[in-house]
Amino acid sequence: MTKPSLDIRSSRSNRKKNLAFQKSPKKAAGAKVNGSMVAANKGTTGKSVNKNLSAFKGLDKSTVLYMHSMMVKSRVLEERLIKIYRAGESYFWIGGPGEEAFGVPLGMLVNKGQGLAHDFLHLHYRCTPTLIAMGLTMVDAIRLMMNRATDPSTGGRNFSGHYCFPKWNVAPVTSPIEVQYPIACGTAHAQKRSGHQSLTVVTGGDAGTAEGDFASSLILASRKGSELPLLMTVQNNKWGISTSFDGQHGEKFIADRAKAFQIKARVMNGNDPIESYLCIKEDMEYIRKTGKPAFIEALVSRLYGHSSASGANPVEGEVDPVKVFEEKILREDLLTANEVKEIWRAFEEEGMKASEQARTEPVPQSSSVWDHTYVGSENADWRKF
Amino acid sequence: MANMAQAIRMALHYGESKLGVKDIFGQDVGAPLGGVFTATQGLKTAWNAPLDERGIIGMAMGIAMAGDRCVAEIQFCDYIFNTIDLLKIAGNTHWVTNGNYSLPMVVMTPVGAGIRGSIYHSHSFDAWASRLAGWKVVMPSNPLDAYGLMISAIQDPNPVLFMKPKALMRVRGEELIPGEPADERELKNMIDAPIGDRSKWKAKWPALTDYTVPIGQGKITRSGDQLTLVSYGRMLLLCNEVADLMKEQGASVEVIDLRSIYPYDWQMIKTSVMKTGRVLFVNEDTEVTNFGEHLVYRCVQELFYHLLARPQVLAGKHVPGIGLHPNLEDASVPQKHEIIELVKSILDEVP
């Protein structure tokens, strides 16, 4: 199967616009993580570049604005996916609205690439923000949502949010929760042996920590003398489908379980992208330096319920991390209201065009059902051997 | 001649020294024990995992995902059941990612009765394993095949389940493994860990060479033209004995050692059954939705007009466990006299 070359971000019209807010700060000349080097993005807003950055704990302007734009992009994409579901163009939606303030910084900080020299990611099905920050295009997420043959993750075989990108060491997202935790120990084990300072990231929700696989990973990651370079995160939104965390968990914090295994662990506000960025960065540096695991319990929101199975309707009373961060950016004069509006509009347009594109693309054919049962699909159909 | 435990050990050594295997792990797999059946003694990449089957399988999947080769062990297949969804995921990863990821990994586990192992050291897993699409599944009946199948499993780009018939682990073969010294005592001195302190012991490996048994290829162990007996693992040896006995009584029984449960050598079965017109499938997993039933189904579908008698399955009784007392175990899994009786009745059946 030939993968279509369409990439909304690199289409002619968007190249002309060259939206500065989509540029990764890592690639912007002069950008670095402190308040003094933001000249590269000086023209983005036309405002004084060093103004009020203390509110962002030393992160430079380009990083802050990129973070915001990726959070918006992820949110717009997820809401686009919900619309696709509601329009009857997909069978199921599950995703990550509410996890942008943790997921985006995580995606910004990984050492992205393929092979043992780069970080591996074993993500849960609310990981769209992380992948958007890593470069996921809207059209590829929509191809997955619409079960297109062109879907690069599964070829139309799996649900939305179940991404898989070998080019970035992104392991396939699974529907069974928590299985990714012991699997992540395997990639971390191989990374440690390779001698690189790469690490494995594994993410999941709070409800899944009730599974035995969570305990398995705590044990495997912390074996004395064989500790693994593993960043374990739990995005605690206090819900497991319709069941409240409070009625099921006796522990005060999930992170306390990691502490029992001598794993560096913390609880943080996952609705604050600045705090997320700094915590993840510090823990990644610790892991790369020591080869030992670290654990983050990020307290986050769940804005549209569990999935389309529960309606995918907005949930009242949850903190919206995108809005809160945006208000802060406006308050601190990093962007004007019109500039914010333009960011949302541009991503809405990108989402619309991506939907239109995916809609025209082919779906999997019945004859492909045996493909990839085995490598090379040898002996896949027993009737033929 | 090497026994099966030694043969597997030598294949694993060949794997770690020639085929890039970097991890051989599981409960008690590393030093000092080297496996409950000694199949992993002296291996440089063997290590002990926590007593956690899901952790072992999960870790093997991750190692494979990272591009490294590993062989993981579940100490007895009786304890593999809590990993069934991980096995399912390992089997569907290549498919559901549309070919993005493959998981070249080997899981080995002792199976079957025959050692008076009671309810949790006597299970079979071949029927269960045959339902794990995406996995290849093998079970040897002799040391040379164990060596060749293990090397094939390590080289395969798919997940492979290597089932070790535990009652045959000390049974010696009739053919030398390529590179194996002819003197059993010499081999023992080279690769069997000593009793007592093993902290300074190192195996001295013979100059082993590549030898593979292709996955999916069966072997005719007895030629005949009146009835086909199809089996694998421990039951294969009983089938051979029955064929020899029947030969003395004037009946000609062909025995097929399937060696691979999936993919299986249908062409070999088909050719034989078209010749004999009578077939019996023998294995010791429980009888309801048994793998042999699938083979009977296929015989009926594809060879119906060649059949001279009803194709049959002799399998373990559909009881919850294998009882410890010999009377209970023997009543639960196929016995030689049962095979003989059934072979005779099939031969006597008039179409």
Using one digit for the tens of pLDDT, what is the confidence trace for B253-283? 999 999 999 999 999 999 999 999 999 999 9
Q: Are residues B55 and A182, on separate chains, in Cβ contact within 8 Å?
A: yes
Which of B58, B63, B67 is closest, CB to CB, to A179?
A: B58
Distance CA B85, CA B99 (A): 20
Going by pLDDT thresholds of 50, 70 and 90, the confidence category of residue A39 is: very low
Which of A172, A213, A378 is closest, CB to CB, to B97?
A: A172
Average pLDDT over residues A296-324: 92
Biggest CA pair distance of chain B: 67
Show residues of chain B in contact with A193, CB under 8 Å: 22, 68
Which of B60, B95, B267 is closest, CB to CB, to A186?
A: B60
pLDDT at B246: 98
Distance CA B251, CA B163 (A): 32
**Residue B26 touches chain A, beta carbons under 8 Å:** no
pLDDT at A38: 30
Q: CA angle at residue B185 from B181 to B188, to 5 degrees?
A: 85
Does residue A9 surpass a pLDDT of 80?
Answer: no
pLDDT at A53: 84
Going by pLDDT thresholds of 50, 70 and 90, the confidence category of residue A26 is: low
- B139 contacts B110 by C-beta, under 8 angstroms: no
**Residue B210 touches chain A, beta carbons under 8 Å:** no
Q: Are residues B94 and A220, on separate chains, in Cβ contact within 8 Å?
A: no
- A129 contacts A107 by C-beta, under 8 angstroms: yes
Q: The pTM is what?
A: 0.93
Q: Are residues B66 and A179, on separate chains, in Cβ contact within 8 Å?
A: no
Least confident of A40-44, A229-233, B113-117, B140-144: A40-44
Show residues of chain B in contact with A378, CB under 8 Å: 263
Which of B50, B157, B262 is closest, CB to CB, to A375?
A: B157
pLDDT at A46: 41
pLDDT tens digits, one per residue of A255-296 = 999 999 999 999 999 999 999 999 999 999 999 999 999 999
Shortest CA distance from A119: residue in chain B? B66
ipTM rounded to 2 decimals: 0.96
Does residue A41 surpass a pLDDT of 90?
Answer: no
pLDDT at A20: 60
- A239 contacts A304 by C-beta, under 8 angstroms: no
Distance CA B114, CA B233 (A): 12
Shortest CA distance from A120: residue in chain B? B66
Distance CA A185, CA A140 (A): 28
Amino acid at A216: S
Percent of chain B surpassing pLDDT 90: 100
Show residues of chain A in contact with B134, CB under 8 Å: 373-374
**Residue B102 touches chain A, beta carbons under 8 Å:** yes
CA distance A164 to chain B (A): 7
Show residues of chain B in contact with A217, CB under 8 Å: 55, 58
| Whether the bond into A166 is cis, omega within 30 of 0 | no
Amino acid at B167: A
Average pLDDT over residues A313-337: 95
Q: Are residues A216 and B62, on separate chains, in Cβ contact within 8 Å?
A: no
pLDDT at B25: 98
pLDDT at A51: 58
Show residues of chain A in contact with B27, CB under 8 Å: none
Shortest CA distance from B268: residue in chain A? A385
Count of H helices and E strands in chain A?
12, 7
pLDDT at B313: 98
H runs (alpha helix) in chain A? 12-17, 42-45, 61-86, 100-109, 128-134, 138-145, 180-194, 212-221, 255-259, 273-290, 321-331, 337-359
**Residue B267 touches chain A, beta carbons under 8 Å:** yes
Distance CA A124, CA A183 (A): 13
pLDDT tens digits, one per residue of B281-329 = 999 999 999 999 999 999 999 999 999 999 999 999 999 999 999 999 9
Amino acid at B230: V
- B114 contacts B332 by C-beta, under 8 angstroms: no
pLDDT at A35: 33
pLDDT at B43: 98
Average pLDDT over residues B207-218: 96
**Residue B44 touches chain A, beta carbons under 8 Å:** no
Which of A120, A162, A219 is closest, CB to CB, to B55?
A: A219
Show residues of chain A in contact with B261, CB under 8 Å: none
The backbone region for B223, taken as left when phi is positive above 0, alpha when psi lies in -120 to 50, beta otherwise, is beta
Show residues of chain A in contact with B90, CB under 8 Å: none
Q: Which two tokens stand for residue B308?
A: 């001279």
pLDDT at A273: 98
Q: Indicate if the alpha-carbon torsion angle A296, A299, A301, A305 is positive or negative.
A: positive
Q: Are residues A176 and B96, on separate chains, in Cβ contact within 8 Å?
A: no
Does residue A1 surpass a pLDDT of 50?
Answer: no
